Amino acid sequence: EVQLVQSGAEVKKPGESLKISCKGSGYSFTSYWIGWVRQMPGKGLEWMGIIYPGDSDTRYSPSFQGQVTISADKSISTAYLQWSSLKASDTAMYYCARHDPGTLGAFDIWGQGTMVTVSS
């Protein structure tokens, strides 16, 4: 079964760092882009960026450039999203999703989401 499994919920304080993960299985992890999507409470989907684990080519949404870092470790089929200094406004659900080139632009498989709560 093709799936993306994300790390568990996190509760952090402002200023702390955080790295969440997304592990792919059931397919060739290095052959598909992995994107990250933010969903703030009660709000819509926002694209953050995307990485190609095969060569770590990474692209960021202008809205998130410099705010987060996307990386991948192909040896363990895992993509990451990290913050160096969290803010309360980073409180949101974060999804990873696989981009299938065969769908010409769509994300066909989604992780279950990681809820990040930032509160003092």
Shortest gap between Cβ of 15 and other proteins (angstroms)?
Answer: 29
**Which residue in 13, 101, 106, 119 binds other proteins (CB under 8 A)?**
106
- Residues near 57 by beta carbon (within 8 Å), at least 6 away in sequence: 51
Phi–psi pair at 112, nearest 5 degrees: -80, -10
Judged by DSSP in three states, 81 sits in: strand
- Nearest of 62, 39, 36, 40 to residue 49 by alpha carbon: 36
Q: Is 54 in the site for other proteins (CB under 8 A)?
A: no
Give the footprint of other proteins on residues 55-74 (CB under 8 A).
59, 61-62
Shortest gap between Cβ of 62 and other proteins (angstroms)?
Answer: 7
Shortest gap between Cβ of 42 and other proteins (angstroms)?
Answer: 10
Tokens of 104: 């010409």
Which residues are at the interface with other proteins (CB under 8 A)? 35, 37, 44-47, 50, 59, 61-62, 95, 97, 103-108, 110-113
